[in-house]
Structure 1
């Protein structure tokens, strides 16, 4: 398993400040497809779909650099597949959706411009079943398809630019960090009781209605929304600190009742338990929560007592815990047994690779991954694990070819760029190494560092005049982006 996790609490506050300023800025974006979006005039009219996508790209870059986004191919694959299943049943889908995960134990999810949907690991871990998780994602998909953020901004047209900027900045920060976002809103002149939530009550009602329809049409239990909301309300009824989801998605009892009433109009689907869902839960606990010792005890106890939805999910979690505790032989035995019954399972193949690399059996990992790659070409889990194993085995040229091919369909995949950087670094290819590093920084909106890397690349270009021209053009593009960001 290859992962990179950046956690910066203070940076989330900085993100809120930058978004507030971002919202009040004026940029000339006319007829420039790659320009940063102009937010300063949104109070005078609607935000176009093209602008929404541009804004979403900028915000996503900011989040990559400042929020605890998890670059875990397995969990990314799971949440994207689940999200796509829901989006396929949605109306008014204007752009591709990107679902991503944040390493945060809070029970929360959020959506913003351009089809971006963020999911906290705490939501997956605390959902009882896949239908409950899907109910929240369907709700967020509905916010995007109904363009609720853009409509909320339009509704504030009578506010002054600074008021609008303060409100938008606080709202967007509240998406990823509800407590910080609400504090930002409270500090602004646009603070009001209604401004402390993502959307209006009408927006929430609409998202509930459409979300439950999407949920039912996607084959999930339509009652899951009301059940999940009801559980949250009951669980935190007497606490002074409600979960993040209740801060950003207020749930009065009448709304819970409405969700249950709407669900009753659909036929209840008898949805079997999902192995992938429970494997994802086990992975989140074993990889991102608690200590290896705690997790070993947890999963061993679960297996002894038979307290699991799937025995395989508990065995998988135990294998990850053993691996984290450097008990490689125990981990290998569990994974080998799991693969006998389910040889193409990506969760098991990923951990098989980790164990093989940890025990110096890189060739075994490459052989198994290569066989799977012929069946599922360009799959993110197989591709990135195979490329990483090839780099470890010093097969740099093959790793580079695989990664470049994958980046044609996933140009914003941070992990693919990072592994490609490793391949160039290990092979001492300084020109391409600095160029690829620049793209990594650009994906996190760190344009000064990206420009520095390209200057280094230029020095290694030698007599390659065409390459030098390409580097100069990219430097100018990054400078333009950076200038506009600074002007915000």
Structure 2
């Protein structure tokens, strides 16, 4: 219920990012023109870790504004838990990672500056088990820890003076939408195309080596990598249009053979089906793919033929499909049954909250969530659902309190600010409404709109001088964030 279409925001951030790289490359050329070439390229002369982090945050804001990111607290919780299971065993981790899902059935995953990893929803529903999905995420984590984008830029700047602004402006497009973006990249890299291809193949080989070791060390089946590679290769062997992932991650037979050989160096792990993975897969299929009636038929067929990995996941998918089809009573019966078997399962709790609210059983939702909020304080699934249930019930003061407390712990949460904006609007607190709306715009990289909202809020809080001072300070902070990118 939380997922919304992204707002279309100006591409100013892309221009700023491109200028950033142009400056860094020119400075690098001036400082290094008399130095002997180094065999080991680290990427630090083009892009420091601090600048990489800032640019990654700017790119993430742009993605929120332009791509259908799945704003779903349950799926966000799952994909970040899975990703961080891998990160805690990775080497050379320089910053906190952020994992997110994009509502796109194409097979694709990508990583960019500052530890950001995007996974298309189609990739999750295609993977047969969690080890296959984890293998792709481990590969992308390895691209980040090995700083492949920065090293690629350094390789380009060391070979010849290319149009780096054009190169960088195409990177994000190519990662998210390769069929469009690769054209932009190839135009910028035409002068040294073969060198770029060879360097990219080297990156892929290194990411495979590091990623498979990371997969094994994180208690996943290392065979997940060659298994998924082989599946993709076979499926798209004769396809006229390969999936997006194969455009940015080429998959020749030699790479599959290397992956098999590397995986065999580790003990095989026989893992049982993972419930969270199967529930996430069912949730995406029921909420983001096909039609409710088709999904009901598909999940019913799975249950009748027992063609599922776990019966609970098939029942969960059926319950969500009932909900999407507005068969709320049937969804309620199934979800309450599932919750009895696993009373703290966030997938069930989130879905049952939606059902209770749809059936106007607000008290049932609030009782369930108030108890869980004591057990799991500031958990994003519980806090956001609790805040939303209080909002739907008209208890605006309590809703605001829950969301404010959560934002202290998670200050960059888009959904929380969006809900809090609605709460303040319902209360008629226009000053606070414009303040939180400004934070929504700031998370989308729309700094000018954010400042406009803050300036509008100023006149509504004339009797609160302390709040006016905070508004002025926040305006200066946002302006400084934008100017800092330009100054770099």
Same fold, TM-score > 0.5, yes or no: yes
Corresponding residue number in structure 2 for 1:35 = none
CA shift, 1:417, in A, is 0.7
Corresponding residue number in structure 1 for 2:296 = 296
Alpha carbons of structure 1 residues 20 and 227: separation in structure 2 relative to 1, 3 Å = farther
Corresponding residue number in structure 1 for 2:148 = 148
Contact between 2:13 and 2:58, CA under 8 Å: does it hold in 1? no
Q: Distance in 2 between matches of 1:25 and 1:117?
A: 21
1:78 and 2:73 correspond? no
Corresponding residue number in structure 1 for 2:36 = none
1:451-485 deviation per Cα after TM superposition (whole angstroms, max 9, x unaligned):
22112100101132222222123223334445677
Corresponding residue number in structure 2 for 1:87 = 87
Superposition map of 1:268-283 within 5 A = 268-283=268-283
Corresponding residue number in structure 2 for 1:402 = 402
Corresponding residue number in structure 2 for 1:318 = 318
Corresponding residue number in structure 2 for 1:415 = 415
1:335-394 deviation per Cα after TM superposition (whole angstroms, max 9, x unaligned):
111111111111111111000100111111011011112221111111100111011112
Secondary structure of residue in 1 paired with 2:101: strand
Contact between 2:432 and 2:457, CA under 8 Å: does it hold in 1? yes
Q: Distance in 2 between matches of 1:26 and 1:140?
A: 22
CA shift, 1:429, in A, is 1.1
Corresponding residue number in structure 1 for 2:46 = 46
Q: Distance in 2 between matches of 1:143 and 1:390?
A: 42
Alpha carbons of structure 1 residues 459 and 313: separation in structure 2 relative to 1, 3 Å = same
Q: Distance in 1 between matches of 2:15 and 2:201?
A: 23
CA shift, 1:6, in A, is 2.3
1:24 and 2:47 correspond? no
Corresponding residue number in structure 2 for 1:229 = 229
Superposition map of 1:58-207 within 5 A = 58-158=58-158, 163-188=163-188, 190=190, 193-194=193-194, 200-207=200-207
Q: Which structure 2 residue ranges, 5 or more long, are not aligned?
A: 32-44
1:213-260 deviation per Cα after TM superposition (whole angstroms, max 9, x unaligned):
110011111011011011111111111211111111111111110010
Alpha carbons of structure 1 residues 459 and 42: separation in structure 2 relative to 1, 3 Å = farther
TM-score (norm 2): 0.92
Q: Distance in 2 between matches of 1:477 and 1:336?
A: 47
1:177-234 deviation per Cα after TM superposition (whole angstroms, max 9, x unaligned):
1111102123335465458879611111111111111100111110110110111111
CA shift, 1:150, in A, is 1.1
Secondary structure of residue in 2 paired with 1:99: strand
Alpha carbons of structure 1 residues 25 and 139: separation in structure 2 relative to 1, 3 Å = closer
Corresponding residue number in structure 1 for 2:214 = 214
Corresponding residue number in structure 1 for 2:335 = 335
Secondary structure of residue in 2 paired with 1:188: helix
CA shift, 1:46, in A, is 3.3
Q: Which structure 1 residue ranges, 5 or more long, are not aligned?
A: 29-37
Corresponding residue number in structure 1 for 2:379 = 379
Secondary structure of residue in 1 paired with 2:100: strand
1:161-186 deviation per Cα after TM superposition (whole angstroms, max 9, x unaligned):
65222222222221111111102123
1:249 and 2:249 correspond? yes
Contact between 2:20 and 2:485, CA under 8 Å: does it hold in 1? no
CA shift, 1:299, in A, is 1.1
Corresponding residue number in structure 2 for 1:433 = 433
Which stretch has the larger CA shift, 189-198 or 233-242? 189-198
CA shift, 1:424, in A, is 0.9
RMSD in angstroms over aligned alpha carbons?
2.3
TM-score (norm 1): 0.92
Secondary structure of residue in 2 paired with 1:117: strand
Secondary structure of residue in 2 paired with 1:156: helix
Alpha carbons of structure 1 residues 399 and 128: separation in structure 2 relative to 1, 3 Å = same
Contact between 2:163 and 2:188, CA under 8 Å: does it hold in 1? yes
CA shift, 1:142, in A, is 0.8
